[in-house]
Amino acid sequence: MKLDDYPCPKFTIKEIYNATSNLSITNLTGEGAAGKVYKGILPNTGQKVAIKHIINDGNAETVVREVTSLCHVRHPNLVALLGCCVGDYECFLVYEFCPNGNLYQWIFGTPWKEKCLSWTRRLEIAIDSARGLWFLHTFSEGRIVHRDIKPTNILLGPHFEAKLSDFGLSKVMEDGDIQVSSEVRGTFGYVDPEYLNNRQVDSSGDVYSFGVVLLQIISGKKVINMNMKEPLPLHKMAKAFTKGESMLEFADPKMTGDYPSEAFKLVFELALSCTGIKQDRPNMEKVLIKLEQALALSTKRQNPIPSTSPDQISVSERFEQSDLDT
């Protein structure tokens, strides 16, 4: 595996092992198909980092995709790749550390079972994530399709600013490409059904996945309801709540009704449009504008400033930090 051509800082194996106390199990924070993730502290700077340990057995393509996508990309709503360490049989990718875990943990109760994200906090996280996706889809040096948007890949920084992570399935689009053919990649329940059928990669697949995540953010429901005789995808379940006031019954009960109904309905309908047929889906710029409108309704701000660039700072930096309900 050769990554010398990429402008990515290099760490030595000694630095990696020192940072993680020799890959101590006490520093293990997660494990996925491609490898394990450890928290660590860089010995020279004292900076807290997350270090992904990848065994090179069949995972070389994953590493190259991550480094290709992130080595030259910087944005407040993308997790920063700080460097890598590549050996013959294993490699390590070093990222900024996000101390508040991932969105999945906060929606579904682990490890913070006693806390609940407020409505405005959920909107801020959705806006941050949308801004990161819009940036990827319009990146001037090569548009990037993430292909694995889901709650576990939305990390939360110290002020709950959302950062997209895990670019192991991402696809960099060449100039002039509207869509490209590819084998189906992604996570069950979040993959665009049209992509499953035609295997054409484009940004609308990310929009679909984001719509599913948005439904989870507002409902607290899993992506597939396995308690039914026939498992039902979340976006199909949501359609049953589209008549009258029943739409509000879709809301996460942990929020105890603490949200404006007009804002909830706006986000609910936006999520359904994202998961609709491909030609009717909004792009991420339009998604972002709608979400900011919902936040304006929720915070009773008048004349909200519209988004004009995906490079603007994250919404969590623009608004006063809202409290978590405990």
Instruction: Indicate if 192 belongs to the active site.
Output: no
pLDDT tens-digit series, residues 2-45: 555 667 889 999 999 999 999 999 999 988 777 899 999 998 89
CB atoms within 10 A of CB 155: 24
205-208: long-range contacts at Cβ-Cβ below 8 A with a sequence spacing of 24 or more? 205/145, 205/147, 206/133, 206/136, 206/137, 206/145, 206/146, 206/147, 206/149, 206/284, 207/133, 207/274, 207/281, 207/282, 207/283, 207/284, 207/287, 208/274, 208/275, 208/278, 208/281
Mean pLDDT of the chain: 85
Distance CA 134, CA 122 (A): 18
pLDDT tens-digit series, residues 185-222: 678 899 999 887 887 889 999 999 999 999 999 999 99
Q: What is the pTM of this model?
A: 0.87
Distance CA 115, CA 322 (A): 13
Contact of 55 with 35, CB cutoff 8 Å = yes
Mean pLDDT, residues 70-84: 91
Q: Where are the alpha helices (DSSP H) in 183-304?
A: 193-198, 203-219, 234-239, 261-274, 284-299
Is the confidence at residue 103, as pLDDT, over 90?
Answer: yes
pLDDT tens-digit series, residues 136-179: 999 988 889 999 999 999 999 999 999 999 988 888 876 555 55
Distance CA 119, CA 207 (A): 22
- Mention every residue, 6+ apart, whose C-beta is less than 8 A from residue 202: 145, 173, 178, 179, 180
Alpha-carbon dihedral 289, 295, 297, 300, rounded to 10 degrees: -130
CB atoms within 10 A of CB 223: 17
pLDDT tens-digit series, residues 209-261: 999 999 999 999 999 876 766 778 899 999 989 876 689 999 999 998 899 99
- The DSSP secondary-structure symbol of 256 reads T
Residue of 148, 192, 202, 252 marked catalytic? 148
Identify the pLDDT of residue 307: 53
- Domains of the chain, earliest start first: 13-96 (3.30.200.20), 103-318 (1.10.510.10)
Q: Residues 63, 130, 107, 113: is their CA dihedral positive or negative? A: positive
Identify the pLDDT of residue 319: 42
